[in-house]
Amino acid sequence: QALQGKTDTLRTDVDTLKTTTARTSTDLASLTQAHTALLAQVNGDESQLNDIDTTLHCNEFSGVLPGGPVMGPLASNGHYYQLVEITYHVYNDYTSGINWNEAQKDAASRCHNGMRGYLATISSQEEQDYIEALIPPQDQDFQYYECWIGGTDVHQEGQWMWMDGPEKGTFFWSGGSDGVAIDGAYANWYCEDATSYPAWPYCEPNDANSGQDCMHVYGNGKWNDVTCDLRANAFLVEFG
């Protein structure tokens, strides 16, 4: 009888534990549902605040430096583009000009048609061709013209990603000059040898002397990696 009593008590404890567990699961499900709803509300509020911020603080006249005309839209993506040149950049003098981080900050202060600006992300040949057409004719070798765009591998060497805009966080290239495009992404790195172009026989990205973590286009539109604190001639803003 004593054994039977203990068995009954144990069964009762098990049933109680099952009931408690079921209630806990129900409470957890309710909390999860409430958390999801709250997160959606927060995201919605954040989006509204961003829209308000854009309306109040972002317009075509913003930006530390005056820019060229806003061009577009590009047919394939509806985006607009603006070339901002640093007119006080001196030939072969890199103490003037603008570095990548300064250009990124300035680009983000600009808007067009309610769209926030960012350093350009180039994801197709059509976009590349359009951007190349914005680069002015060169009166010196193409490699002396540097125009910042939005690619970087500052977070992980050799893993190139777009930093801002709709493609923010998208990796498009893995490795150095012998690397590969990721998932068929578009790429247009500069690459010439001593036969094809003896004056500038390099292939990019090569992280020369280490620390070349930011991306620009040359005067011929080809991509190159350089140190982020280089004082470049220009930067390209995309609105999309």
The number of CA neighbours under 13 Å toward the Cβ of 85 is: 11
β-pairing verdict for 223-226 and 214-217: antiparallel
| pLDDT score of 223 | 98
**Chain centroid to CA 73: how far?**
20
Q: List per-residue pLDDT tens for the chain, 240 residues long.
A: 666 666 767 777 777 777 777 777 777 777 777 776 666 666 566 555 555 554 555 655 555 567 899 999 999 999 999 999 986 555 555 567 899 999 999 999 888 888 889 999 999 999 999 999 999 998 888 988 999 999 999 999 999 999 999 999 999 999 999 999 999 999 999 999 889 888 888 899 999 888 999 999 999 999 999 999 998 989 999 999
| pLDDT score of 27 | 72
- The residue behind tokens 């057409």 is 133
| pLDDT score of 197 | 87
| pLDDT score of 138 | 87
Amino acid at 122: I
| pLDDT score of 186 | 98
DSSP conformational letter for 117: E
Contact 165, 240 (CB under 8 A): yes
| pLDDT score of 60 | 56
| pLDDT score of 34 | 74
| pLDDT score of 218 | 96
DSSP conformational letter for 30: H
